[in-house]
Amino acid sequence: MQYHKLKNWQSIPELKSLHDLSTPPKELYFAGKWNPDIIKNCSAVVGSRKMTDYGARVVEKIIPSLIMQGKTVISGFMYGVDQHVHEVCVENRGKTIAVLGWGIDTPLFGSDLALAKKIIASGGILLSEWKTLKAAHWTFPARNRIVAALSSEVFIVEAAQKSGSLITAAIAAKLKRKLWAVPGPVTSRTSKGTNQLIASGKAQMWLGTDHLPGEYETDDPILEILQNEALTADEIARKLKNPVSETGANLSLLLLSGQILEKGGKYYIADVN
Amino acid sequence: MLIKIRSIANIGLETVPVDVEVDVASAGFPGFTIVGLASKAIEEARERVKTAIINSKLDFPPKKITVNLAPADLPKDGAAYDLPIAIGVLLASGQIPVHLEGVKAHLPGEGEVDLTKSFFYGELSLDGTLRPTRGILLLGLFAKKCGTGSVIFVPAESASEASVVTGIKIIPVKTLTQLASHFLGREITPLTEKPLKDIDELALPEFDLVEIAGQEQAKRALIIAAAGGHNLLMWGPPGTGKTMLSKALPGILPPLSNSEALEVTRIYSVSGLLRPGQPLVYKRPFRSPHHGTSTAGMIGGGSNPLPGEVSLAHLGVLFLDEMPEFPRTVLEGLRQPMEDGTVEIVRVAGHIRYPASFTLIAAINPCPCGYLGHPRRECKCSDKQIAKYRLRISGPILDRIDLFVAVAAVETEKLSLTQEHPADRLTSKKAKEQVLKARKVQSTRFKNGKIGLYTNSQMRNADVKKHCFLTAEAENLLKVAADRFDFSARSYFRLIKVARTIADLESNEKILPLHMAEALQYRQII
């Protein structure tokens, strides 16, 4: 992939936020078309490598609202939440910056390469402070500081108790960036970190875009019971006291009309807003 | 004196006659030779036969004995020639005082043993008793084909295998001494034949659907699979009842017809898997090979090829638990039998074709650790690992599976609150009635069609076009779904076949949108 060195980045006014760091990067490399405008107004959305269905759905809610506000979405290009963030951003025609945890000339393969191409095609860039460096344990936290510094606000979607996303959160707090954490179920491992950020007051709780629960009115009994929780076809049939064959047929129809979603055998309401 | 004893050789499921010629020469150095492409097991028959004869208080003649197994160019294996060789030696040495008239051996008493119509088959033990021998049913069927009046002399313990064959005389032999006295007039009572009766009564299923709580959708998928002969893939974390569900499948399949039972028994007889005293396999087979099974074990093999798991599951269920754990070569080997219903094995010993028409039930975990999507336990696999795990089942195999169903972990407390009373649960008996109804609809439909087309799953694309009438709404629904879920042409036809079976379950001639919508529930999810 074609990449360039950003000559004398210290003189670029859009990148002055990087000077907030105690150890700003020495050099910067990028792939894609350089456009200083996209760095002006950035939000970072990061999270666990192990994304749950819940995390994916949260990302799908956060990103469109950020794009509506004209923000560029920054993330870390790692599989899991980060890549999903880039993916959703590209799908919604937003600009996105992927800060790599390795040298810019490292060749990419498979789905990584496909995503990188999509990011560049949509006007985003891939960014790294190294030219040739293999990914190592320390390179990812180092990358996180750039993610945090470039953004005015940071969203933590999902994070386990010991997660790289919490490093990003800590740096963001130190740099006085606005920190949001998405609350999750207390039983979920990947929401422990985010819940703790909220409980300790380090982050603000993100409760979605303006949404008043319970206002969603529907005649369909399936949509009605799916409003409260995600259920399998068996559970829905049992609650409605209907044969599973009939319930299954109705679920297929709702799925095709886009009113519900299915993931891993469970059905969700497409969007309560 | 030269004596010719008739016996057989089983090559796969085929039976060919073998003549055991025994000559006890009056001149020459004492010796005992066996010729005629005999295997090691037959070579060793010399020691068994000699010792068994001596231990039966009979005389082993100290003369030059030559045994020829004809046809000489056919490789022969197994210990079943012990009995024909032993009886040949006893007759040829004149110990049993027979008067030979042509080929008939007259007994001193009233009876006679017509050696041209008698078959001897069985393994000897050193003390002269006969040991259970495999392939007796095939011998019985072959003897029947040879004409009326055929008599088979077989080990008493395995004799019941052949008792379903009518029109032949079965002599169950316990010891060599007993057989010698039979020739001397103290006849052994032949086995009474047990003609096939309604065997469904005897086939109690291992598992009843009523024993499984919840999993209504998976049960429904089982009924559809049984009704249309569709292969099924169950997807879900460990401990959710995938194995139990698949064990319940034989119980809701239509009962084996008499000819089918015989077909299955033949395979089991060749493999030596019939228990002593078990004349027939009544139940539809349920085979659940471990994922360490080799290709030869799955498909069949060995230098003298024996049936593999696919053939042992013939007309029944082949259940592959943890399917991605099976070696790729083993899974790919399933392609031919799944397509053709038979499997061909080529080895040095020859070219053998075994039937292998089974319903495949595959169970896979959502990820290597098994707990992805589990309500309480955490999955510890990375995305890459999960993607790799799913890719282990190749497209061609998935293409042959019509139904996919997610089997979620059952949260017991939720079940007990909302579950209907166990008495209202679906029983295997009720499910079977539904299946039988749908099968009847199919057999009427395919009656005048192609040969070998019995169930919806066997339809080719041309048959689908001919037999599946979709209403305009159903077709429209399918088109919308194809667009939305990005179906390949193949999954398109698979869905129509499943919808056809769902419509058959309701005896509906047309495929309504409701049927199509339900079929969409079972679309490919991995």
Q: What is the ipTM of this complex?
A: 0.71
Cβ B236–A249 below 8 Å, yes or no?
Answer: no
Assess whether pLDDT exceeds 90 at residue B370. Answer: no
B102-107: average pLDDT: 54
- Whether B307 contacts B267, CB under 8 Å: yes
Assess whether pLDDT exceeds 80 at residue B194. Answer: no
* B255 Cβ under 8 Å from any chain A Cβ: no
B468-491: average pLDDT: 87
Per-residue pLDDT at A273: 46
Q: Which long-range contacts (CB under 8 A, 24 or more apart) does B494-497 make?
A: B494/B402, B494/B524, B495/B519, B495/B520, B495/B523, B496/B464, B496/B468, B496/B470, B497/B228, B497/B230, B497/B402, B497/B456, B497/B457, B497/B459, B497/B464, B497/B468
Alpha helices in B116-175 (DSSP H): 136-145
Assess whether pLDDT exceeds 90 at residue B172. Answer: yes
Cβ B502–A264 below 8 Å, yes or no?
Answer: no
Instruction: Give me the residue from A80, A189, A244 closest to B220, CB to CB.
Output: A244
List, edge to edge, every strand of the sheet that includes B169-173: B31-35, B64-70, B14-25, B2-11, B118-120, B151-155, B169-173
Assess whether pLDDT exceeds 80 at residue B154. Answer: yes
Cβ B235–A244 below 8 Å, yes or no?
Answer: no
Assess whether pLDDT exceeds 60 at residue A216. Answer: no
Per-residue pLDDT at B121: 95
Per-residue pLDDT at B155: 94
Tens of pLDDT, residue by residue over A95-114, are 999 999 999 999 998 889 99
Tens of pLDDT, residue by residue over A49-62, are 888 888 988 998 89
B268-275: average pLDDT: 84
A3-12: average pLDDT: 89
User: By C-alpha distance, which of A235, A223, A221 is closest to B406?
Assistant: A235
Domains parsed from chain B with CATH numbers: 2-183 (3.30.230.10), 201-426 (3.40.50.300)
Comparing alpha-carbon positions, the chain B residue that sits nearest to A188 is B378
Instruction: Give me the residue from B376, B406, B481 closest to A265, CB to CB.
Output: B406
Residue carrying structure tokens 């800060």: A99
Per-residue pLDDT at A212: 42
* B373 Cβ under 8 Å from any chain A Cβ: yes
Residue to substitute from B383, B407, B417, interface A, most A β-carbons within 10 A:
B383
Assess whether pLDDT exceeds 80 at residue B497. Answer: yes
Cβ A233–B217 below 8 Å, yes or no?
Answer: yes
For the beta carbon of residue B234, count every other beta carbon within 10 angstroms: 26
Query: Pick the residue with more confidence: B282 or B38?
Result: B38
* B237 Cβ under 8 Å from any chain A Cβ: no
Q: Taking CB atoms and an 8 Å cutoff, what residues of chain B touch A237?
A: 216-217
> Would you identify the CATH topology of the domain A221-269?
Arc Repressor Mutant, subunit A (1.10.10)
Comparing alpha-carbon positions, the chain B residue that sits nearest to A186 is B376
* pTM of the full structure: 0.73
Distance between CA atoms of B519 and B228, rounded to whole angstroms? 13
* B236 Cβ under 8 Å from any chain A Cβ: yes
Instruction: Give me the residue from B217, B408, B484 closest to A244, CB to CB.
Output: B217
Percent with pLDDT over 90 in chain B? 40
Instruction: Give me the residue from A53, A253, A264 closest to B517, CB to CB.
Output: A253
User: By C-alpha distance, which of B444, B469, B467, B472 is closest to B457?
Assistant: B467
Assess whether pLDDT exceeds 90 at residue B64. Answer: yes
Looking at domain A4-205, which CATH architecture does it have? 3-Layer(aba) Sandwich (3.40)
Which DSSP state fits B202? Answer: G
Q: Taking CB atoms and an 8 Å cutoff, what residues of chain B touch A51?
A: 383
Q: How many inter-chain contacts (A to B, CB under 8 Å) are there?
A: 82
Per-residue pLDDT at A131: 92
Comparing alpha-carbon positions, the chain A residue that sits nearest to B474 is A253
Which DSSP state fits B375? Answer: S
- Whether A7 contacts A32, CB under 8 Å: no
B469-488: average pLDDT: 88
Per-residue pLDDT at A214: 47
Assess whether pLDDT exceeds 90 at residue B270. Answer: no
Per-residue pLDDT at B203: 55
Query: Pick the residue with more confidence: B196 or A108?
Result: A108
The whole-angstrom distance between B226's CA and the closest CA on chain A is 16
B419-424: average pLDDT: 62
Cβ A249–B518 below 8 Å, yes or no?
Answer: yes
State which H helix or E strand residue B517 sits in: helix B513-520
Distance between CA atoms of B30 and B46, rounded to whole angstroms? 13
Instruction: Give me the residue from B373, B480, B502 closest to A256, CB to CB.
Output: B480
Cβ B406–A80 below 8 Å, yes or no?
Answer: no
- Whether B220 contacts A245, CB under 8 Å: yes
Name which of B24-28, B122-126, B482-486, B516-520 the model is least confident about. Answer: B482-486
Which residues are A49's β-sheet partners? Answer: none
Cβ B517–A49 below 8 Å, yes or no?
Answer: no
Which residues are B306's β-sheet partners? Answer: B301
Assess whether pLDDT exceeds 90 at residue B160. Answer: no
Q: Taking CB atoms and an 8 Å cutoff, what residues of chain B touch A54?
A: none
Cβ A248–B514 below 8 Å, yes or no?
Answer: no
- Whether A30 contacts A126, CB under 8 Å: yes
Per-residue pLDDT at A217: 65
Residue carrying structure tokens 């192609």: B450
A221-250: average pLDDT: 87
B414 Cβ contact list (under 8 Å, min separation 6): A235
Give CA separation, B161 vs B190, B192, B198, B277, B412, in Å. Answer: 14, 12, 17, 7, 46
B147-168: average pLDDT: 88
Q: Taking CB atoms and an 8 Å cutoff, what residues of chain A touch B378?
A: 189
Comparing alpha-carbon positions, the chain A residue that sits nearest to B518 is A249
For B205: left if phi > 0, alpha if psi spans -120 to 50, otherwise beta; the answer is beta
Assess whether pLDDT exceeds 80 at residue A74. Answer: yes
Q: What is the mean pLDDT of chain A?
A: 88
- Whether B270 contacts B141, CB under 8 Å: no
Residue carrying structure tokens 């005629």: B36
Per-residue pLDDT at B376: 72
Domain spans in chain A, listed from the N-terminal domain onward: 4-205, 221-269
Q: Which amino acid is at B393?
A: I
Q: Is A131 helix (H, G, I), strand (E, B) or coil?
A: coil
Query: Pick the residue with more confidence: B195 or B190?
Result: B190
Q: Which amino acid is at A185?
A: P
Q: What band does A211 get if pLDDT is binned at 50, 70 and 90?
A: very low
Per-residue pLDDT at B294: 93
Comparing alpha-carbon positions, the chain A residue that sits nearest to B485 is A256
Most confident of A119-133, A255-269, B86-100: A119-133
B165-170: average pLDDT: 88
Cβ A249–B514 below 8 Å, yes or no?
Answer: yes
B199-217: average pLDDT: 72
Per-residue pLDDT at B112: 65
Residue carrying structure tokens 């760091």: A21
Query: What dihedral angle (degrees, nearest 10) is formed by the CA atoms of A52, A54, A57, A58?
Result: -110
Q: What is the mean pLDDT of chain B?
A: 86
Cβ B520–A252 below 8 Å, yes or no?
Answer: yes
Residue to substitute from B212, B240, B377, B521, interface A, most A β-carbons within 10 A:
B521
Residue to substitute from A244, A263, A266, interface B, most B β-carbons within 10 A:
A244
Assess whether pLDDT exceeds 60 at residue B110. Answer: no
